[in-house]
Amino acid sequence: MGDLTTLYIDMNSFFASVEQHEHPELAGRPVAITAIDADSGSCVAASYEAKAFGVKTGTPVWQARKLCPSITFLPSRHRLYVRYNLRIAEILDRMAELEHIRSVDEFQFRLSGAATCVDGALELVARMKAALASEIGPAIRFSAGMGPNHLLAKIAGKLEKPDGCQWLSPRNMPERIAHLRLDDLPGISKGVSAKLERSKVYDIASLYRLDPRHARRIWGSVEGERFVRALQGLDIPLISSARGSYGNSKVLGPDRRTVREAYLVGRWLISKSTARLRRDKSVAAQLMLSVQREDGGWGQSLKCEASCDTAYFLKLHRTLWEQQLKARGPSTIFSISVQLGRITRLEDRPGDLLLGIGPAAATRGEKVSELIDMINSRYGSETVTLGRHRSHPGFFERG
């Protein structure tokens, strides 16, 4: 097993590429997307053919026309780009676990098994690129970055454009990105850059060697420490705000719309959500289940002990389904959503004298779940499961 855990995909000139796909006659020609059809407007996106002439995001229309007389301007169609975003997510999620849709043109995947090694990750990316070219078209391309966390994967994804693929880890850091400026890194604003300069941190190598506790003082917050630790290769979340819930929703395919099949899909979503809880060292004290039925919507929640034990939440999940069927009877199920709420950090959970558990200590069930996570990470995402569930192709997180 290797040290790569995250794959970050950045679509290449996404808006313009979608328009080139929609208008094959524009393939290989300079294209710019505008919000306002007037010389006073600006370009919100540009194809690589236009970028070669110096046209980029924010370039005024009049200036873009001067830089590239042959350029074609098209109005922005955001709903169209969102539809392509979802289509891309559905295709790529068949090959790796899609953790987050970061924006309309950026996706984050969790790597496991052979893909945690460089050769395996490169092979996975090649298959992803081939799938998009085959199922959508050759105009839809992306650059990929792999790393032991979100930050390094995202930086790696910016190193080779267009249509590139690079990786970063402690094995090639900081030398691989020594040519970058500090403000080239995501998360280094002008204000943070100025603080670093005042602390005599002028380059990537100096930032990489910085004591994370010193970085906390420079930033004036814990985010400085988290940033430097991530830069050094630790797999820690980069989201500064506390997460309110963990969950997933799924529109069910025609063969998954019976109560039995929908219930099994729900068990799969529970397993996914609790695994994310454990990865982030968090616990939840509420389970919410929502289903869209042929006869209308239904939703209910249960408050519970703060936990990240998959088996515990699977029991609660069964209880909610039993309550639903008792109250309303069976029906065709079109979609299902599970959410784990009332999130706290595991380190903040008090002990339980009756159960003999100390503060921040994992229960027996949570330890079993962690062991299953380790096995599945090494040998495949469903090598070990707690009872039967039904995975559903095309899943991606909406929580």
- C-alpha 195/C-alpha 186 separation (Å) is 16
Count the neighbouring beta carbons within 10 Å of the beta carbon of residue 374.
Answer: 12
In this structure, are strands 333-341 and 296-307 parallel, antiparallel, or unpaired?
unpaired
Residue 12 identity: N
**Tokens representing residue 261 in the block:** 């099949």
> Is the CB of residue 372 less than 8 Å from the CB of residue 384?
yes
Active site residue 106: yes
CB 236 within 8 A of CB 229: yes
90, 106, 223, 261: which one is catalytic? Answer: 106
Q: What is the C-alpha separation between 166 and 147, in angstroms, rounded?
A: 9
Describe the strand order of the beta sheet including 31-34 as a list of residue ranges.
43-46, 31-34, 72-75
Are the C-beta atoms of residues 185 and 212 closer than 8 Å to each other? no
Largest Cα–Cα distance in the chain? 77
Count of CB atoms situated within 10 Å of the CB of 291: 25
Q: Hey, how many other C-beta atoms are within 10 angstroms of the C-beta on 337? A: 19
3-state secondary structure of 161: coil
Cite the active site residues. Answer: 106
